[in-house]
Structure formats: structure tokens, C-alpha cells
Amino acid sequence: MVPEYKKIRLKFEKTGNGKFISHLDLDRTMKSVLTRAKVKVEHTHGYNPRPYLVFSLPTAIGTESRCEFLDIKVPVDDEISDIPERLNKNLPPDIRVISVYEPKTEFRQISYSEYEIMIISPDITSDFAEKIETLFKSAVIVEKRTKKTESGFMDFDITPYVKSITAEYIAEHTVRIKTVVSAENATYINPEYIIKALCKYFELDLSDPNGSLYTVMRVGVYKTDGEKFE
């Protein structure tokens, strides 16, 4: 008799050193951890069955996140409330499962991602935040990888796909940027494009780790209507 399964969603964080794990390694880690935590998961069919895992919108290496999502299927009668605790006992400290629930949404409904970017650099002055907000009131061109040109790059105006951006000068040589950008496949905006634009238009030098640094954190994802995705 074929067992019945239900879909559940794990919401987890990837912070600190966890931001350096690749999506492929994260997939391997989760499969291993689910096995060690003895969470029964539906497997693919065939000669080499594997746990059936579906991630949403994985972040790039170097980007932290407060809102990563993973869908799995477990037996319909299994208790799920203790799954976060069981998984967290086996996960590295910088990857934490926050909650588990039966989802009412599909990953294809995600349209926007919200990021918080912190930049520390001697090049940043007290009027830098105002300059950033002014910059994005007109076209902002960055270089984007593409298969459509011989060089493999093309100029790309990111402004139409930046839904909102605000900046605040919070300490000496330090600015905090909050931005909501497109997360849809055709118009996806990597937050690194924001960094590239600032380096290009303001001659910001972030190449010296001893004098400058920046961090990127995804803090939310949203549907087309602006409602928070869960």
C-alpha cells in the first residue's frame, strides 16, 4: 500500500558563516540532517531514490537570510510540531529552522525580496544616504551577465525593478540601505547589483577588507500584492 503524504514547509535562517554555504551544499546538508533527525520524507522514485526537497529562491553565496523556505512531504499522520527542534539539534549553529507548517501558498507566488545592506567605508560621508535615494530616481545602469552578447555581458537598467529603496547614515562612515526588489525569474535583481551601482556611480571602493566591508541580509519575501509570503 502506497503511504499518503502531506506537504509541509520549513522556514529557516542562514546567517553568520552559514552565508558561505552553496545551494548544492545546503541541499546535501538538509538531506543528511533530515535522515539523522529521523524525519520521514517522501523520496523520488526509481533506482536511486532521494529525499524530495524543494527550496524557494535560494540566496547567493555571501548573502545572509532570515527567510529561507524548504518544502518536503511527510506521512499524513506524522506529528510535525517537534521537527524544528529535532533538526536544529543536528544543524550547524548558523542554520536554524524557525517554524514548520502546512503551506497555503506556492513558491511561484513570490514576486519581491526585501534586503538590508550595511556598508562601512571611509568613502561614505554624512550625505551619502541622500545621494543613494536620489540616484535611484533615474536610470541606474549596471553590467549583467547574459548569453545574448558575444562578450557575455550587457548594460542593464535596474531601476524599474527596484520597488523601493531607502538609506540612512547610522554611524561614522556607515550607511544602512533597505530595499525591495524583483524576485521573479525574468526580472530578478541580485542585491549585489545595488552594490555594483554604488561603486560605479560614487567611485566607492570596497576592495580593501581592512578599510571597507558590506553585508547583505534578506529579511522578507512578498507576493505581487505586497502581502508577506509564508
| pLDDT, the chain, mean | 92
Give the whole-angstrom CA distance, residue 1 versus residue 49: 18
Of residues 185 and 170, more confidence is placed in 170
Task: Examine the domain organization and report whether 144 and 183 are in the same domain.
Answer: yes
Kindly report the pTM of this predicted structure.
0.91
CATH number, domain containing residue 44 = 3.30.70.580
Task: Examine the domain organization and report whether 69 and 168 are in the same domain.
Answer: no
Written as nine digits, the cell of 131 is: 545621494
Task: Examine the domain organization and report whether 141 and 203 are in the same domain.
Answer: yes
Give the whole-angstrom CA distance, residue 35 versus residue 195: 39
Residue 229 lies in a domain: no
Task: Examine the domain organization and report whether 79 and 146 are in the same domain.
Answer: no
Task: Examine the domain organization and report whether 195 and 126 are in the same domain.
Answer: yes
CATH number, domain containing residue 191 = 3.30.70
Residue 228 lies in a domain: no
Write down the pLDDT at residue 209: 76
Task: Examine the domain organization and report whether 85 and 35 are in the same domain.
Answer: yes
Task: Examine the domain organization and report whether 133 and 168 are in the same domain.
Answer: yes
Give percent above pLDDT 90 in the chain: 80
From 88, 104, 120, the end of a domain falls on 104
H runs (alpha helix) in the chain: 23-36, 83-88, 128-135, 192-202
Task: Examine the domain organization and report whether 171 and 200 are in the same domain.
Answer: yes
From 104, 122, 141, the end of a domain falls on 104
1 band by pLDDT with thresholds 50, 70 and 90: low
Give pLDDT tens digits for 116-141.
999 999 999 999 999 999 999 999 99
CB neighbourhood size of 152 (10 A):
10
Task: Examine the domain organization and report whether 215 and 114 are in the same domain.
Answer: yes
Name 2's Cβ contacts closer than 8 Å, sequence gap at least 6: none
From 77, 104, 131, the end of a domain falls on 104
Write down the pLDDT at residue 160: 96
Write down the pLDDT at residue 173: 93
DSSP character for 190? Answer: -
**What percent of the chain is helix, strand and coil (3-state, nearest 5)?**
25, 35, 40
Average pLDDT over residues 24-34: 94
Task: Examine the domain organization and report whether 123 and 203 are in the same domain.
Answer: yes
pLDDT at 211 over 90: no
Give pLDDT tens digits for 181-205.
999 988 899 999 999 999 999 988 8
Task: Examine the domain organization and report whether 156 and 91 are in the same domain.
Answer: no
Please give the tally of structural domains in the chain. Answer: 2
Of residues 147 and 174, more confidence is placed in 174
Write down the pLDDT at residue 92: 93
Task: Examine the domain organization and report whether 113 and 30 are in the same domain.
Answer: no
pLDDT at 2 over 70: no
Q: Which DSSP string do the residues of 19-31 spell out, in sequence order?
A: GG--HHHHHHHHH
Residue 230 lies in a domain: no
Average pLDDT over residues 57-81: 93
The domain of 195 spans 108-223
